[in-house]
Amino acid sequence: MGHLSSKIKLYCEANGKVYEDERDSLNIIVQDDMISGVSSPYIKNWNVSGLSEPNDSQLNALDSDATKFDTNSKVRNTRKSFYGNIGDQLDLLYKDMLADKGDKTGEWFKAVKKVKDDNPKS
pTM of this prediction exceeds 0.75: no
Query: pLDDT tens for residues 23-48?
Result: 666 688 889 988 888 888 999 999 99
pLDDT above 70: percentage of residues in the chain: 95
For residue 56, is pLDDT > 80?
yes
The pLDDT value given to residue 69: 95
DSSP, residue by residue, 42-71? EEEEE--TT-PPP-HHHHHTTHHHHHHHHH
Average pLDDT value for the chain: 92
Under the banding of pLDDT at 50, 70 and 90, the label for residue 15 is very high
